Amino acid sequence: MPRPVIGIPCGIEPHEWYTPGHGVPVSYLRALEAAGAIPLLIHLTRDEDVLDLHYRRCDALLLAGGDDVDPASYGHPRQPWLGVTTPLRDEVEIRLTRRAVEERKPIFGICRGIQSLNVALGGTLHQDIASELPDALDHREGWELKKTDVLAHPVLLESDSWLARTLGTGELLVNSLHHQALQDVAPALRVVGRAPDGVVEALEGTGPGFIAAVQCHPEELWERADLRWANVFRAFVDVARGSHTTHS
């Protein structure tokens, strides 16, 4: 069976004095490779020909974690508790996401990825959970402990969701390394998972194409903390492989 190509828009890695780099944490690449895919990093550019060529080489998109999504992308004013943003990344991810949805190219979002997916399709975000949702759980526990695989809180999944079927459960513990969260959910998406405090933890698409996204970081869990997430990466790669076959 062919190994599908899964495109991952990059983040920007700043340097104190040297030219910044584009990339994503290695854990995303390892998870996709182990699941049978070929990851393809998509650097940030406004050159439409370059983005088009990258996109056409991909059988699916994975939207990875990273900096905050800038509220300018969903028409809200910037709040003082907002973290670092990368507007060019927002622009690239939104453009690629909308094209993928229109052309039914599979999408899987992780952490920032669930947020940029929601924004791309017309949703909004809480810019900081602690400031806007003071009764919420601590969703930054992983950052505070500097451990990516700490199982911080449970997530309840809808029983009819792709995620629940793939994970084989309707409830599981997840890691938590975010301070933004979904506010208004885009019309083309449905909530399939929440934390006990109501914060949205998982989305799936309501249309004909494949869309799934999680707020946690399964790329940090699939090898040790919770092996069931390996099934999710394999299932996503299988969907991408089907897309490759369809468009070949």
CA angle 153, 184, 41 (to 5 degrees): 70
Active-site choice (204, 219, 220, 244): 219
Given the residues 10, 54, 93, 111, select the one marked as catalytic: 111
DSSP calls for 124-182: -EES-HHHH-TTS--TTHHHHHT-TT---EEEEE-TTSHHHHHHT-SEEEE----S-EE
Catalytic, 217? Answer yes
Q: Are strands 153-157 and 171-174 parallel, antiparallel or unpaired?
A: antiparallel
- Whether 219 sits among the annotated catalytic residues: the reply is yes
- Beta-strand (E) ranges in the chain? 5-9, 11-13, 21-23, 38-42, 60-63, 107-110, 125-126, 153-157, 171-174, 181-182, 189-194, 200-205, 211-214
Annotated catalytic residue within 153, 217, 220, 244 = 217
Q: Which two tokens stand for residue 107?
A: 């999408």
Known catalytic residues? 111, 217, 219
